[in-house]
Amino acid sequence: MRKTRVWMMLGCCLLALTVLAWAQSNRKPGLWEVTSTMTWQQSPMPPGMQAPPGSPFGGRPRTTQVCVTQAQIDKFGGPAPQTRGDCQVTGVQMKPDGMTAAIACTGRVVGNGTVEGSWTDDGHAKTKVHFTGTMTMGQNSRPIEWTMESHSEFKSADCGSVQPVGAPGN
């Protein structure tokens, strides 16, 4: 159960970082579809264990829908930065066709990483996040290193039932 909570916490952080990276420019508000693939260079799982079924950490593409509001774009350049898991995004550098930033995490996951985002138009974006550090699981700390690559596509100005990132209940 404890491992599942750690996986869920890390998953929320990863989604938030991905959304932050691709939404930092004049992105369109509304519904976006984000497909991400995470690759572990050094997994926290003990030898012989695999990520739980359906986990965003299994190396298979995972597609999610994300709602971005105009207010979030106006205030933050995208969705409100999420800090679940005690992670902070700093040093955001904007370019005409993308952005870069740094990630620093403390708590159960400790480490640093980089975020690189690029877009060719206001309806498509790519993001790459690379992170190295340690993850505390029970009494043990394990080294981790992962890379996540995401592709995002604008779907609709209407988010339907998808709540904006950072909205109550998310």
- The per-residue pLDDT for range 5-51, each reduced to its tens digit, is 444 445 545 545 555 554 444 568 899 898 989 898 988 877 777 76
Task: Look up residue 145 and give its DSSP letter.
Answer: E
Q: Per the structure, how many domains does the chain have?
A: 1
In sequence order, the β-bridge partners of residue 93 are 100
User: Could you tell me which residue, 57 or 47, shows the higher pLDDT?
Assistant: 47
Which amino acid, 163?
Q
Q: How far is Cα 115 from Cα 52, in angstroms, rounded to an integer? A: 26
The secondary structure of 15-29 as a DSSP string is: HHHHHHHHTSSSPPS
Residue 93 is assigned to a structural domain of this protein: yes
Query: Residue 3: what are its φ and ψ, rounded to 5°?
Result: -65, -40
- On whether residue 14 sits in a domain, the answer given is yes
Do 59 and 146 meet the contact criterion of CB atoms below 8 Å apart? no
> 161 lies in a domain?
no
Confidence of residue 155 (pLDDT cuts 50, 70, 90): very high
Q: Is 35 inside any structural domain?
A: yes
**Per-residue pLDDT tens for 73-119?**
665 555 554 445 688 888 888 777 778 888 899 988 999 999 888 87
Tell me whether residue 53 is in a domain.
no
Which of 105 and 57 is assigned the larger pLDDT? 105
In DSSP terms, 89 is beta-bridged to 103
Token pair belonging to 121: 């138009």
Per-residue pLDDT tens over the stretch 116-147: 888 778 788 888 999 999 998 888 899 999 99
Structural domain includes residue 88: yes
Alpha carbon 136 to chain centroid, angstroms? 20
User: Please, which residues have CB within 8 angstroms of residue 116's CB and are 6 or more apart in sequence?
Assistant: 21, 98, 99, 100, 127, 128, 129
- Residue 13 counted as domain residue: yes
Q: Does residue 82 form part of some domain?
A: yes
How far is the CA of 157 from the CAs of 16, 70, 123, in angstroms?
20, 10, 11
Higher-scoring residue by pLDDT: 81, 167: 167
Q: Which domain holds residue 102?
A: 2-45+63-156
Q: Which residues contact 32 (CB under 8 A, 6 or more apart)?
A: 19, 22, 23, 65, 66, 67, 68, 152, 153, 154, 155
Model pTM score:
0.75
What pLDDT does residue 11 have? 52
